[in-house]
Every structure is written in C-alpha cells, then in structure tokens.
Chain A
Amino acid sequence: MAKKAHIVGVGETRYTKWGRIGEVTEHALACEAILTAVADAGLKIEDVDGLASFAEDRNEAIFLAAELGLPELRFGNMVWMPGGGGGCAAIANAAMAVETGQAEVVVVYRALCQGQFMRFGDGASELPGRGNGDSESPPPPGLLPADSLLMAAMGFVMPYGMITAAAAFALPMRRHMHLYGTTSEQLGKIAVTFRQHANRNPRAIMYERELTLEDHQNSAMIADPFHLFDCCLESDGACAVVVTTAERAADLAKRPIEIVATAQGAPKGYSFGSFTNPNIADELYATGGTAALANRLWEKAGLTPKDVDVAQIYDHFTGSVLMQLEDYGFCGPGEAGAFIDSGALSWEGGSLPTNTHGGNLSEAYMHGLSHVLEGARSLWGESCCQVEDADVCLVTSAAGVPSSALILQGH
C-alpha cells in the first residue's frame, strides 16, 4: 500500500502585533516554532530530515537546517504560489516528499518579524519603482529597468498607486457587490464571527478585544469597500507543522491527522491574480479564482462540501472568505452573502464553523499557515471553539492569487 502523509504535530511562538518582537531574530523564531511542533509530535529534532516553506521565505531551509542541527537535510522546498497562496501547497509538497520517500519527517514553517523587515500591509512600498515619498523634490519620473517578471508586472500597475493588497482585492470585491448585491454588512459579519472565535483563543492577538458590526461599519475606510476591520492583522510570530507517513506516525504522541487530498495552482492567464492582472477572465474576476482547484480537491478526496465539519478559510480580507465559500461550493455564485447572513460561519450552531481560531483577521497573520495548525487542532479536539465530533476539515490558502488547499481527516 502506498504511503500516506499525516500531520503529527503543530507549534507556534507567541503572536504579537507587527514590529513587537525585536529581541530575537526572525529565524530564531522559526527555530522555536519548529522545535515546539517537533516536541508536540513526540519527535526529536534528529528525526527531521526535511523543511518546507512558501511566500518568498527569507528564512532559508539550508540555514535553518544547520542552525537546528538536522543530521541531514533531504528535502528543502519553496512554493511558487505567491504570498499567502502557498501555505497549503507547502504542506502538499511536504506530503509528496514523505509519500515518495524523499524524506521521512518534514516540517513546514513560517516566521514573521515585520518590524525587522518590511511590513506586508505596505505592499510594494520598498520596490524600486516606489518614489521616495520623503524627499521634498523627488526626481522626475522616469522608466526604471524591471529586473524580474514580478517587477515588470508591478511596474505596469504601481504608477497608478496599486501597491497594497487591500486595493488589489477591493477591485474584485466591488465587482462582486455590483453583480450580486453583496453588502459591507455581510463582510462585517465575517469579521465579527471570527473575532468571537478569537475571544475564546488565548493565543489570539485579539483575544481580549471584542468587535461589533457597528465597530466594523464605523472603522476607517482603507480601500473601498474594505474598512479597517475587513483587513487582516499584521503580526510577528512563527508557527510550524510536522508531516510524516502513517507508518512513522503510528507510535508518536498524537493521533495522526490524514492529509486526504491537496491541490494547488492557478487558472489560465491568472499570473499574480488581482494584484497585477486586470485581465483575469470575466467569469473568474469576481471570484477567488479557486473554483477549479476546489473541484480537483473534492474529486481527489472523494468528498463534497457537505462532508466538511469545520473549515479554516484564508482571510487576508473578509471578501476572500466570501468568494471562497462560492468557489469551494458551499453555496452558489453570488449566494455567499445570504450564506453568511444565516450565521453559517459561527462555531456555535453554524452549518460551516469557520476559522475557529479567529483567522488572519483576529488570531494572527502567519500567511495562513496558522490555519493548518487550527485544522489539525480542530480534529484533535484541541480547538478553543471545538466542533463536536469534527472529522473532516477544509483548509485553504489565499484566494485572488495562485492558491492551494487541503482536506484533513481525523478518523
């Protein structure tokens, strides 16, 4: 019988508002999260022979392997799906590595100390084409050389002020509202529901901060229709997930969580998605662009949306959740607003309890890898918003860019 990959341990450091962790380096945090996850699995660091990450990780596996003292690095992998689109793909690649015998125990990690580097919410603010905003008399605009495909693509949109993710994802969201009558209040209900979950999660940065729909509606407009509370947190911290085979998992500390199916990718002509691409196909423009990926995922798993007990859906913006509910088939195109109005996303009585940790919006923003941790916890019975007898969990990565997703099963 073919080997099957499982999640056997998870771990994180403390999470803080961005820029608050200054006393240790970002790679030290990565090492701390990896060691915590390995211990959670009942493994030793000597057992680890693979490391995988995503989102242009500056904490290269080759250096972490040396710092951690891995006896041998047999698998080191980074995902092309950009930014938060790659979290589930990193798990998928780790799963492929252990299933094909490239490595036996692979740890997927993500660390962020944004005060020590650039702040993600500033988007492309440090790219070379950005004018020096501090200068009183900037040089007249010229044509700068693009030294990569990304720079060439950004160079075609940045002169119009497109440098933040909020503006990029506001564009498809505005069109969704135009097509289907989706409202800002429906987006607000997503933020409020996830905050209620975070209010039960001591790990969450927003653990002690309540949020009402009125707070959401009154919060500052960032990029219409996105208010401040439609936008995810920006955080410091690190988290990690341990992946191995069923055989290796058999005598470890925790019940292994099966990685039932994975999928990653992008539709034709998608490139960087709504960030740089005004020419996304019309039928995909007001979506998360993940419907084809979702169909492949359900088919591989032999499951349907009705089989999902709990979901961890990537939420860099509230609108991303709304569009993925449609892409993944929990409701039809244009129906997500009404689906949210039904209270579906709440762990208390909702038909699809979602982001039971509080998500990127209210727990912490670890580019979505924290959703994988919560996916495993929700099947171990360890969630702060535990769904009773949860067996099947959908985990997704960022929509609106090339993306990825997982189905986990606790059995």
Chain B
Amino acid sequence: MSERWFPDSMPQPMVDKESLPWWQAAAQHRLTVQCCDNCQYCRLPPAPICSECQSNKSHWEEISGKGTLYSYTEVHRAVATGQTLPFVIAIIQLDMDGIGTGNSVRIMSNIVDANPDELEIGKAVSVAWETMSDTVSLPRFKLLSSS
C-alpha cells in the first residue's frame, strides 16, 4: 500500500464512459490526459469530442506528473470524518512534456505534506499517488522543494 493522507470516507469518484479509462490508468498510478487524434489538443476532464475541432476520435497519453502550483486554498472544514485539518485543495498546471499541441492542461487535486507557509503559486510540484482501494487511486501532489 502507498502512503495514506485522506480517509476512506472521502467523497468517491463518479465515473461515466468518457472518464472510465482515466480512472483505470489512475488505479495503475499512471497520470493521463486525453488527446485529439485529429488536432492533438489535449483535455481534462475527459470528454466525448474535441472542443477545438469537434473530432470524436481521441487517445490517451501518459504524462510525467510534474507541474506547477496554479492556485490553492487551505480548507478548514472537514468533508469526511477522520480527516486531518486543514487540507489543501490545489490547481496544478501540468507539464505536458511535449505531448499534443502543448496546450495548457490543469487538474484539481491536493497538496500533501506541505507546511502552509511553503505554499506559493508557481512552485514546482510532483505527483504522489494515494491508493484508496483496489479500484481507486488518486493523484495528490507534493512540493518539490519539501523533503
């Protein structure tokens, strides 16, 4: 088992046909984005057609899980019992590693193991997977500068 930061009682993922492959990759600790076969535009969350060219053909690309902190909030109210407070919800600007058109893709997640004073927009982060169950793993992020 991987390190745990959040309790089992956290809200659970809700999945449709579009997003199931993303969650299946996540369960294997692979962070993916959906990319258009036609124009290479990349997107999250998963969607049936490309917003830029309306093609319904797409494929999945794995990315490194590195990125920068785009914004964050330290939340002081629990959403689940047994939760450590405060916790940090963050927007991560993902490094696209030359994949697709290089268009911006961000993901909502958490920053874990950070001292609140260290949080600063623009800081480098890297994915840290949390295995919640056999079928669910979530990509949390850590500041690269913290030990």
Contact surface of A with B, Cβ cutoff 8 Å: 124-125, 127-135, 138-146, 151-164, 166-167, 170-172, 174-175, 178, 220-226, 268-269, 278-279, 282, 285
Q: Report whether B80 and A131 are in contact in the complex, using a CB–CB cutoff of 8 Å.
A: yes
| Cα separation A356 to B12 with both chains bound (whole Å) | 42
- Listed residue (B73, B74, B92) with the most chain A CB atoms within 10 angstroms of its CB: B73
- Listed residue (A140, A152, A170, A220) with the most chain B CB atoms within 10 angstroms of its CB: A152
| Cα separation A146 to B17 with both chains bound (whole Å) | 9
Q: Report whether B13 and A143 are in contact in the complex, using a CB–CB cutoff of 8 Å.
A: yes
In the bound complex, residues from chain A placing their C-beta under 8 Å from that of B80 are 131, 133, 161
Q: Report whether B108 and A157 are in contact in the complex, using a CB–CB cutoff of 8 Å.
A: yes
Known A152-B45, A174-B73; contact A124-B11, beta-carbon cutoff 8 A? yes
Q: Report whether A146 and B14 are in contact in the complex, using a CB–CB cutoff of 8 Å.
A: yes
In the bound complex, residues from chain A placing their C-beta under 8 Å from that of B43 are 279
- Listed residue (A138, A159, A225, A285) with the most chain B CB atoms within 10 angstroms of its CB: A159
- Listed residue (B9, B121, B138) with the most chain A CB atoms within 10 angstroms of its CB: B9
Q: DSSP class of B's interface residues: helix, strand, loop or mixed? A: loop
6 nearest CB pairs, A to B: A155-B14, A170-B73, A140-B133, A158-B11, A146-B14, A131-B9
Can you list 29 A-B contacts (CB < 8 A)? A128-B14, A130-B11, A131-B11, A133-B9, A139-B8, A140-B8, A140-B132, A140-B134, A142-B133, A143-B14, A145-B15, A156-B19, A159-B12, A160-B109, A161-B11, A161-B89, A163-B11, A167-B89, A170-B73, A172-B71, A178-B71, A221-B74, A222-B75, A222-B76, A223-B74, A224-B75, A224-B86, A278-B44, A279-B104
The reply to whether the CB of B107 lies closer than 8 angstroms to some CB of chain A is yes
- Cβ contacts B35-54/A at 8 Å (1 or 0 each): 00000000111000001000
The listed residue (B9, B13, B51, B72) touching A174 by CB distance below 8 A is B72
Q: DSSP class of A's interface residues: helix, strand, loop or mixed? A: loop
The listed residue (A132, A163, A224, A279) touching B74 by CB distance below 8 A is A224
Q: Report whether A154 and B72 are in contact in the complex, using a CB–CB cutoff of 8 Å.
A: no
Q: Report whether A161 and B14 are in contact in the complex, using a CB–CB cutoff of 8 Å.
A: no
| Cα separation A223 to B75 with both chains bound (whole Å) | 4
| Cα separation A161 to B74 with both chains bound (whole Å) | 11
Please give the distance in Å from B60's CB to the nearest CB on chain A: 15
Q: Report whether B12 and A171 are in contact in the complex, using a CB–CB cutoff of 8 Å.
A: no
The reply to whether the CB of B118 lies closer than 8 angstroms to some CB of chain A is no
Q: Report whether A129 and B11 are in contact in the complex, using a CB–CB cutoff of 8 Å.
A: yes
In the bound complex, residues from chain A placing their C-beta under 8 Å from that of B76 are 220-224
In the bound complex, residues from chain B placing their C-beta under 8 Å from that of A139 are 8
Known A144-B14, A178-B71; contact A162-B108, beta-carbon cutoff 8 A? yes
In the bound complex, residues from chain A placing their C-beta under 8 Å from that of B79 are 125, 130, 133, 161, 163-164
Q: Report whether A152 and B14 are in contact in the complex, using a CB–CB cutoff of 8 Å.
A: yes
| Cα separation A141 to B106 with both chains bound (whole Å) | 24
The listed residue (B14, B87, B121, B133) touching A178 by CB distance below 8 A is B121
In the bound complex, residues from chain B placing their C-beta under 8 Å from that of A164 are 75, 77, 79
Please give the distance in Å from A303's CB to the nearest CB on chain B: 34
The listed residue (B18, B73, B74, B136) touching A143 by CB distance below 8 A is B136
Known A156-B45, A164-B77, A224-B74; contact A143-B89, beta-carbon cutoff 8 A? no
Q: Report whether B16 and A222 are in contact in the complex, using a CB–CB cutoff of 8 Å.
A: no
| Cα separation A221 to B108 with both chains bound (whole Å) | 21
Q: Report whether B15 and A279 are in contact in the complex, using a CB–CB cutoff of 8 Å.
A: no
Q: Report whether B12 and A131 are in contact in the complex, using a CB–CB cutoff of 8 Å.
A: yes
Closest to A281 in B: B104
